[in-house]
Amino acid sequence: MTLLFLAIIVLTLMVFAYNRIPLGICVAVLVAITVVLTELREVYYTPSWFRWMYGILAVTLLGFSIRPLRRLLISNRLLPIFRKVLPKMSDTEREALDAGTVWWDAELFSGRPRWRRLLKTPAPSLSAREQAFLDGPVEELCRMLDDWEICDHYRRLPEPIWSFLREHRFFSMIIPESFGGLGFSAQGNSAVVMKLASRNLTTAVTVMVPNSLGPGELLLHYGTDAQKNHYLPRLASGEDIPCFALTGPTAGSDAAGMPDTGVVCMGEHDGQQVLGFRLNWNKRYITLAPVATVLGLAFRALDPDGLLGEDPEPGITCALIPVDTPGIEIGNRHMPVGSVFQNGPTRGKDVFIPMDWVIGGQPRVGQGWRMLMQSLAAGRAISLPALGTSGGKMSALLTGAYARVRKQFDLPIGLFEGVQEPLARIAGRTYRMDAARRLTLVALDEGEKPSVLSAIVKYQLTEGNRQTLNDAMDIHGGKGIITGPNNYLAHAYQAVPISITVEGANILTRSLIIFGQGAIRAHPWLLKEMRAAGAPPSSKARRDFDHALFSHVGYVISNKVRAFVLGVTGGWSTRAPVRGKTARYYRQLTRLSAAFAFLGDSVLLVLGGKFKFRETLSGRFADALIHLYLASAVLKRFEDDGRPAEDLPLVQWSLDDSLYKIQQSLLGVMQNYPLPGMGRLLKWAVFPLGLPYQPPSDAVAQASARLILAETASRDRITEGVFISDADDAAGRVLNAFHLVLESADAEQAIRNALKESVTIDNYTSLVRRAVESGVITEEQATAVRLAQQAAAKVIAVDDFPKSAIEGFDKSPFRPASDRYAQADTSRTEAPAG
């Protein structure tokens, strides 16, 4: 009986913690229980210690709810200790931390995500203008592009493409209509880049850079009226081509440590002595630098003579400089692997610029890093995720088609389970990538700048592109590794490292930014504690610290209880916002959110400021947070699409894969917990009944693979938004063959059943004639089979070249037989620019 009564007390406290009942209400309930038990002690026997225990708990919690008392006894004593262990942060770290906003990531850190809030978020949509632009100029441009000619013949964009981009204002998607731009939403911007990338990466990058982090965006948010009125119309029309120089030979991932300087001084400009900067820089990897007319530059401002104020080092500053300014050198081109977009170094020696060339003018001197971080908080979620998703969609579109067309052992290779396994990964990952892309864009268009989620989609969608292309190459085999006009995978495969590396290398993004920044930025109390502890001593700072500290303690206790209870009940102690086959996933993600939040706090408590140096642990937490977000996006997408039953295999594959990866990431944290032996106790608390999640089943994987092996509505939804070629080019041929092979499948089966032979590209002529003569198929069916086999033969063919093209490295034999740009661009035989 004693154990029973103790269990009742513990259960009461767990109910309070699980539901996060405010302290005042907890005290009132405990007092009421004490009174009731006292009044009923003669009717229902309860030991006196049981009644008194509730009373003691009530008094204890009452003491904790009296803020002046707990400040005096606890928080004021802890504040000096907290200040000592607080991690030191540089100004650039602090500015990066403060950049952007929090959104659904804060819900995932809460341990109690409000799913109905997510489901009320608007579904993604394009405006009529944006859709018309995609259906008009973007579609027309895609038909003009030839990936092989651009990458292996011209090695740059031909002039007709540049002219088309300028004419239709492709460089102005982020510039408002009032300045002559298109003024598209984040979703419109992403959709354009994604469709172009599905046709030619060089064109997509050329378009995305002026519409991404760079002069246009910085001018919009921080430029003076004079700067906006001068530059934005010129950028919108393409009269000016911008680039932005941030990275240097010794400042890559550590861009804030750039050695490039600008010294405040007086100098001559337009015949007058004006205040400005004397600049020296050495930058590289600058996209569009070889063709740019205006250079955005980040540098460290120095003011040794105090011309601006008392600070001798105001900090990183951004300026906009015409490239014909004396002292500027644009170097030779870099050649990015797998693509030929313009990229190169730029240097400047003793370049004087007036102060009003600083973006935002003199008041913005020293604010460049904050400006860049604020812009990156949103912009990182648009361009590179669009490129990554485009790669996944094209892998699904073309690999599904190829796996149905290509036969081995008398069967389409897509029917073999060994091939269906990577096909399922392509389909499931692409579905999940697009879900995350769409959801994040909705947040941007709602006015959010979710810096942590932007880092997640940049990292995960570019990694997803790498994974899907690897699987696509494996399935294509020899077809994928022989270069030439017939290869629609090679350039995308070769170019994967570009998106992995730029805008924050993925290794850095995973190991330092996603959880390292998210643990502070998206945590409900940690940043408030740090700000209160770092503020000058005052009664307000002590009150703020006390409130944040005790709220944080309650939050940790609640998540510990929630993780355990949800683990014991298998997630059934929480409600799902929907019914049906996806309901269990909401419950499981709630369970894992609580476990993630609890383990994160426990590790931060043990390591304190040392956590910033434990990058492997941070990376594992990042993996868990990534898949919590990706899974949330999948559930939202399924609802936005109207819950199509046909998509359930994709939903199940994506979510089962994410649940398993979250589990393994948290398990990795516990196995490498900083306190020896503590990880086992935490594992019992988080997974009390063992490890519940397994990778996607074979049945789910095979069902997912089959969706892209046929012309299904699911396949259309997976590949929506990419260019569908109907021309006689590499992509068009495989899609045409796919359609014809499906159309002739019944006739082929009839021939196989009757003549006991399978139709192949080697025997179809005689086999079809015999089938018609014997009445097995009609002449119309025979024509369908012939067309399908002829189309299949074109698809499996690969390119070959004269020996001289290889032995002598003579590029001229590589020139395509049909050069669509020959008449419009007479410089095609000259050496590439730069």
Active site positions, annotated: 503
Q: For residues 562 and 589, is the Cβ–Cβ distance under 8 A?
A: no
Q: What is the DSSP string of 430-446?
A: HHHHHHHHHHHHHHHHT
Q: For residues 660 and 694, is the Cβ–Cβ distance under 8 A?
A: yes
Distance CA 198, CA 773 (A): 45
Distance CA 100, CA 103 (A): 10
Distance CA 521, CA 19 (A): 24
Distance CA 692, CA 689 (A): 8
β-strand 242-245 against 294-302: which pairing, if any? parallel
620: which 2 tokens?
Answer: 């594992």
Q: What is the DSSP string of 571-600?
A: TTTS--SS-STTHHHHHHHHHHHHHHHHHH
Q: For residues 492 and 338, is the Cβ–Cβ distance under 8 A?
A: yes
Q: For residues 427 and 705, is the Cβ–Cβ distance under 8 A?
A: yes
CA dist list (Å): 744 to 731, 741, 767, 777, 779: 20, 5, 14, 11, 12
CA dist list (Å): 124 to 139, 176, 360, 383, 641: 21, 21, 33, 17, 10
Strand-pair partners of 354 = 276
- At CA 167, angle to CA 165 and CA 173, rounded to 5? 60
Q: For residues 119 and 590, is the Cβ–Cβ distance under 8 A?
A: no
Identity of the amino acid at 550: F
Distance CA 231, CA 392 (A): 36
Q: For residues 236 and 171, is the Cβ–Cβ distance under 8 A?
A: yes
The DSSP letter of residue 608 is G
Strand-pair partners of 344 = 286
Instruction: Report helix angle 368-379 to 451-476, nearest 10.
Output: 50
Q: For residues 667 and 621, is the Cβ–Cβ distance under 8 A?
A: no
Distance CA 701, CA 380 (A): 31
